[in-house]
Structure 1
């Protein structure tokens, strides 16, 4: 419980935080507020240590550069930021050392009920939809976790909410042993992050950690197409309900069958905490999805321009292609994370007028689609967007849905999406007022 956080709680204890991103800094702040001595490890040697002072972390010891076993000696607790391999960290730690995620650490100090959402695709949009519905129902909501604000910051704020809505990733769940949501939602599952996880099975088991400690008063919401796999390999003690898209919801901002599935999951989660269908439907009509997710940001001369930069997987790209009408001029490319893109060959033949490749993974796309689509490769996104704008005509959809991570040319998918919008506006001559 938050009221149990006091400055002497971990006095005399030493903690190591791995990663100085938003979650790592939040974990360090929480640990220091509890009285622990904190060492912060960050591989980037250009990390601006003045960020510690700006957060009031004057006693945190920063260590920059490659992590070494001696950095973990004497620590009572190691907290790992999302995206950093727990297996790598455990390999550097002494045997038996406690290694957890920031999510697990913060969960020790909350008392509010939690709706936690995981899945390969659609997590952020579904969390924000659930937040919208709950606020429409008059609830005080904190939304964070793997999006926006880390849970540790909520604990530190001392503010109370009626319910917490958390996006949780496989990376975070791998470092959890006590985190237990009142409602756990798995939206979908497909091969992803295989550059981080040892196998698809390990990735799936990380996702299923969401339900490992639930009890009979809790709810597990799972996709119907995973029912056989779940029931053969896992023992879930909570109430289980399965969902599939039915087409019964209307939300102008959420096109496509995949969003119908996400809305089904959101309705089940909200219904379990006593939100009516009427409130849910009202919230759908008002809901504005977050940017970079099938975002129609410009219509000009009969052409729609769609920013789906968050589509970093094959499945997300497939959903986008199916959500919009033909003909589609598809911009794709980036750092490959896994998936068999030849499975999209039929959809491309049906829907794509042309594919504009940019950045890394050219060979993967060209090999998968060589008999299915007209393709052209460009060194960067701006050149690809300019050619797509030049060749698009009335009725076309120019769609950025990369199917890969952004880390070849950009720092994150948000930067990539904004670069696409700038490139389109430059090529069309339409600037923001």
Structure 2
């Protein structure tokens, strides 16, 4: 438990205050734990009526749990409301009417009030987790004590309660988290790219971009905003930060044998530009980058059978090669997740796509991968969105399940081909998440005949 948390407890700043936490995911429950430790009277609200006291773990019997549709009674007496990531706050507007905006924060914002170490925060539509993890690997290789979390791994509230103090806080931050931040301020903020994503959550691309830019809103001239060069058309002339702004792009500065593709060369350069602000030498960075291996479900080679390489890129949940949805005057070309994966290979690609549609430009994607893709294997949901445009450019097949689609591609593939799971959708039509989808692909590929 850190010093600021102890001061809050000793000064009884939240003792007896009514706190409502919305959502019972990892971040929500971590926030509820911290509020309980701080002496607040905690209520946890979740729309899912199936949630029981058992999910509260050690908080069971210590905090109030309410489930089912939210109503004004859940929030009317709240001194502070903490939202879990992904809670659609705007949709709650009717039941939050009359509550001061300053009383409503994200778990990230709430936890940041207690942070003393400098924060290095990474956002973007794609590549956040790889870049965040790479940054931490470089810093740790250079001998720094690092906490890595936020939108991945351990929630920031949990770090405050359970972990030893770090010298540097490295966070992956999502638009969900940033949209309800007011005071959160990293020392270094990194914006990797911007393309259509989470349009099932955000009203439009403008709202999505505004949420991302909240990362930089409170930064000062002593802080650094690192922005990918593709963001120039979106951000030039726009006042969004007082930080010192620097731009980066793809380079061949470092040898990164386990991070293929142009998008990863850009991510590697971003990581270097971030860590050198903390005293890391280029030699130290080069050593860590050379040894860094790709993360599960992110252009992850799984197996090679009969000369055909099977690659798991289940994390690729977006499909938009250009940010043309923002407005006509602000277009920025970026590599979306599926496009970046296809371009990572210089051999014929058989791409597997399907799931719950999140938005994107199918026609542009098809044009951008015509020289790499030899077959599209659709499965599950979004066939009606993907097939009409894709079949104008490629042979397209559809199967009900991913397993059937993998087996079909295996039967048709020639030695030298890549069978790439890069779905460009979320997984919730047939799986509990992208990790389960990726694991299923790995299982099926592993069971194919040698």
The answer, yes or no, to whether TM exceeds 0.5 is yes
* Superposition map of 1:15-26 within 5 A: 15-26=19-30
Match of 1:217 among 214, 217, 222: 222
What's the TM-score once normalised by structure 2's chain length? Answer: 0.93
Match of 1:146 among 151, 155, 169: 151
Shift of 1:48: 3.8
Shift of 1:57: 4.6
Match of 2:349 among 311, 321, 328: 328
Q: Which runs of 5+ in 1 are unaligned?
A: none
Match of 1:344 among 349, 365, 384: 365
Match of 1:227 among 232, 236, 248: 232
> What are the Cα deviations for residues 288-345 of structure 1, in whole angstroms up to 9, with x where unaligned?
1210000001112211110000000111000011111231111000111011111022
What is the DSSP-based 3-state SS (H/G/I as helix, E as strand, rest coil) of the residue aligned with 2:397? strand
CA distance in 2, matches of 1:13, 1:34: 10
Shift of 1:132: 0.4
CA distance in 2, matches of 1:232, 1:107: 29
What is the DSSP-based 3-state SS (H/G/I as helix, E as strand, rest coil) of the residue aligned with 2:385? helix
> 8 Å contact 2:140–2:146 — kept in the other structure?
yes
What is the DSSP-based 3-state SS (H/G/I as helix, E as strand, rest coil) of the residue aligned with 1:78? strand
CA distance in 1, matches of 2:82, 2:342: 39
Shift of 1:159: 1.7
* Superposition map of 1:84-103 within 5 A: 84-97=87-100, 98-103=103-108
What is the DSSP-based 3-state SS (H/G/I as helix, E as strand, rest coil) of the residue aligned with 1:59? coil
Q: Which runs of 5+ in 2 are unaligned?
A: 320-335
CA distance in 2, matches of 1:195, 1:410: 18
CA distance in 1, matches of 2:343, 2:91: 39
Change over 3 Å in CA distance of 1:379–1:228 after alignment to 2: closer
2:340 is aligned with 1:319: yes
CA distance in 2, matches of 1:235, 1:26: 31
CA distance in 2, matches of 1:168, 1:185: 10
- Which residue is 1:50 aligned to? 54
> What are the Cα deviations for residues 262-282 of structure 1, in whole angstroms up to 9, with x where unaligned?
111111100111111111110
Shift of 1:376: 0.6
Shift of 1:383: 0.7
What is the DSSP-based 3-state SS (H/G/I as helix, E as strand, rest coil) of the residue aligned with 2:343? helix
2:119 is aligned with 1:109: no
* Superposition map of 1:386-397 within 5 A: 386-397=407-418
Indicate the RMSD between aligned Cα atoms, in angstroms: 1.4
What is the DSSP-based 3-state SS (H/G/I as helix, E as strand, rest coil) of the residue aligned with 1:387? helix
- Which residue is 2:37 aligned to? 33
Match of 1:207 among 192, 205, 212: 212
What's the TM-score once normalised by structure 1's chain length? Answer: 0.96
> 8 Å contact 1:348–1:372 — kept in the other structure?
no
> 8 Å contact 2:53–2:60 — kept in the other structure?
no
- Which residue is 1:192 aligned to? 197
CA distance in 1, matches of 2:66, 2:179: 24
